[in-house]
C-alpha cells in the first residue's frame, strides 16, 4: 500500500492506477479507522476495485463548538488497518495541503441536507461536500464507497452526485456494530463504560421499532413514541431527533413504506453526540 500526503503525488498515483486498467474506489474518512471502515474497504476490494482510503479530519464539517480538536488522530493504526484490508493507497493530506489559508469555495446542497443532522449542524454537509468534491477532482474515482451508518450523508451525496452529474457510482455497506449492538464510531472512544452501557438502549429501541414494523405497525408516530419512551428512561441519554424518513429525500413520513424508509436518530450521551438508524 502506498502512503501519500501530497495532492500531486495522489494525482500521479491515481493516473497510474487508471493506466493499469484499474477502477478506483474512494472511501473518504476522518481517520480513526475501525471495523466499520474495514468492512467498506473489503467490500470494494472484493469487487476488484483499487481502493483509495482518505483519512483527513476535515475542519469544514465541524461546527465551532464541536470536537475538531479532540477528534482521535491515529495515523499509525490507520495505515496498518488499511494495508491489512488491501487498500492500494492511503491518502492522508495535511490541513494546509487540502485547505490552505484563504480557501474560500464551498459546495452546498439545499434540500436533503436541511432536516435531521442539518438542523443543529448547519455546516456539516456543506463541509463534507466541499471536501469530497475536492477529493473527487484529485483522485477521479469511478466508485465512491460510503457506510449506511450515516444515512443522511449517503442521501445528500447521492443528490449532489446527480445534481452535478459527477461521473461516479455509489457503493454502500451496512452498519457494523459491536457485539452488544452499539454502532461503531470513532466518537465511541469518548464514552465511559457507564455512558456506553446507557447508549446500548439505542440499539434496543431501534430493534423494537423494527419488530413493531415486522408485526404490522404502519404508523410512524407509534414508532417514534416507543423509541422516545425507551430513551427517556436512560439518565444520560437526550434525544436530538428521532424520525421516520424517506431514505432518498430524508423527508419525514407518517406511514411506513416498506423498503423505502428508515428510522433515523441522533442523541446525546451526556456531552457526546452519536447518530444511528435502522432501515425499515
Binding flag, residue 109, ligand AMP (CB under 6 A): no
Binding flag, residue 36, ligand AMP (CB under 6 A): yes
- Please identify which of the residues 34, 37, 49, 137 carries the catalytic annotation: 37
The Cα-based distances of 89 to 34, 60, 185, 267 in angstroms read: 17, 24, 22, 34
In whole angstroms, the minimum distance from the beta carbon of 237 to ligand AMP comes to 19
Binding flag, residue 273, ligand AMP (CB under 6 A): no
In whole angstroms, the minimum distance from the beta carbon of 117 to ligand AMP comes to 12
Binding flag, residue 183, ligand AMP (CB under 6 A): yes
Binding flag, residue 37, ligand AMP (CB under 6 A): yes
Residue whose CB is less far from ligand AMP, 200 or 217:
200
Assess contact for 138 and 18: CB atoms under 8 A: no
Question: HSE on the CB side for 214, CA within 13 Å?
Answer: 8
Which one of residues 4, 10, 17, 30 is an interface residue with ligand AMP (CB under 6 A)? 30
Residue whose CB is less far from ligand AMP, 25 or 146:
146
Distance from C-alpha of 255 to C-alpha of 275, rounded to nearest angstrom? 22
E-assigned strand segments in the chain: 2-4, 24-29, 50-55, 89-91, 143-147, 169-173, 237-246, 261-269, 272-279
**Interaction with ligand AMP in 184-203: which residues (CB under 6 A)?**
184-186
Binding flag, residue 29, ligand AMP (CB under 6 A): yes
Distance from C-alpha of 30 to C-alpha of 24, rounded to nearest angstrom? 19
Span interacting with ligand AMP, options 94-102, 141-149, 219-227, 234-242, rule CB under 6 A: 141-149
- Active-site residue, 37 included: yes
The Cα-based distances of 66 to 55, 62, 77, 226 in angstroms read: 19, 6, 24, 30
Assess contact for 245 and 253: CB atoms under 8 A: yes
In whole angstroms, the minimum distance from the beta carbon of 277 to ligand AMP comes to 11
Interface mask (CB under 6 A) for ligand AMP, residues 143-182, using x and -? ---xx-xx----------------------x-xx------
Pairing of strands 237-246, 261-269: antiparallel
Residue 222 backbone class (left: φ over 0; alpha: ψ -120 to 50; beta: rest): alpha
List active site positions: 37
Q: Which residues bind ligand AMP (CB under 6 A)?
A: 29-30, 36-37, 39-40, 146-147, 149-150, 173, 175-176, 183-186
Amino acid at each position: 500500500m502506498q502512503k501519500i500526503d501530497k495532492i500531486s503525488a495522489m494525482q500521479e498515483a491515481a493516473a497510474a492506477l487508471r493506466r493499469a486498467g484499474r477502477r478506483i474506489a474512494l472511501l473518504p474518512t476522518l481517520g480513526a479507522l475501525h471495523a466499520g471502515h474495514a468492512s467498506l474497504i473489503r467490500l470494494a476490494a472484493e469487487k476488484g476495485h483499487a481502493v483509495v482510503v482518505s483519512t483527513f479530519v476535515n475542519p469544514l464539517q465541524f461546527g465551532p463548538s464541536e470536537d475538531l480538536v479532540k477528534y482521535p488522530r491515529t495515523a499509525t493504526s490507520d495505515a496498518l488497518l488499511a494495508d491489512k484490508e488491501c487498500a492500494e493507497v492511503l491518502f492522508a493530506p495535511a490541513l494546509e495541503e487540502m485547505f490552505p489559508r484563504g480557501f474560500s469555495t464551498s459546495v452546498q446542497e439545499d434540500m436533503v441536507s436541511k432536516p435531521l443532522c442539518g438542523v443543529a449542524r448547519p455546516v456539516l454537509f456543506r463541509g463534507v461536500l466541499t471536501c469530497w468534491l475536492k477529493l473527487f477532482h484529485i483522485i477521479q474515482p469511478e466508485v465512491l464507497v460510503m457506510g449506511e451508518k450515516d444515512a443522511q450523508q449517503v442521501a445528500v451525496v447521492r443528490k449532489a452526485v446527480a445534481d452535478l452529474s459527477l461521473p461516479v457510482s455509489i457503493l454502500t455497506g451496512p452498519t457494523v456494530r459491536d457485539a452488544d449492538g452499539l454502532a461503531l464510531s470513532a466518537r465511541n472512544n469518548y464514552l465511559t463504560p457507564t455512558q456506553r452501557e446507557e447508549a446500548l438502549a439505542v440499539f434496543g429501541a431501534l430493534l423494537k421499532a423494527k419488530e413493531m414494523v415486522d408485526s404490522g405497525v404502519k404508523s410512524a408516530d407509534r414508532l417514534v413514541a416507543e423509541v422516545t419512551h425507551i430513551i427517556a428512561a436512560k439518565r444520560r441519554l437526550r434525544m436530538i431527533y428521532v424520525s421516520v424518513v424517506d431514505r432518498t429525500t430524508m423527508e419525514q413520513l407518517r406511514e411506513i413504506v416498506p423498503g423505502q424508509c428508515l428510522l433515523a436518530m441522533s442523541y446525546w450521551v451526556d456531552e457526546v453526540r452519536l447518530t444511528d438508524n435502522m432501515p425499515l
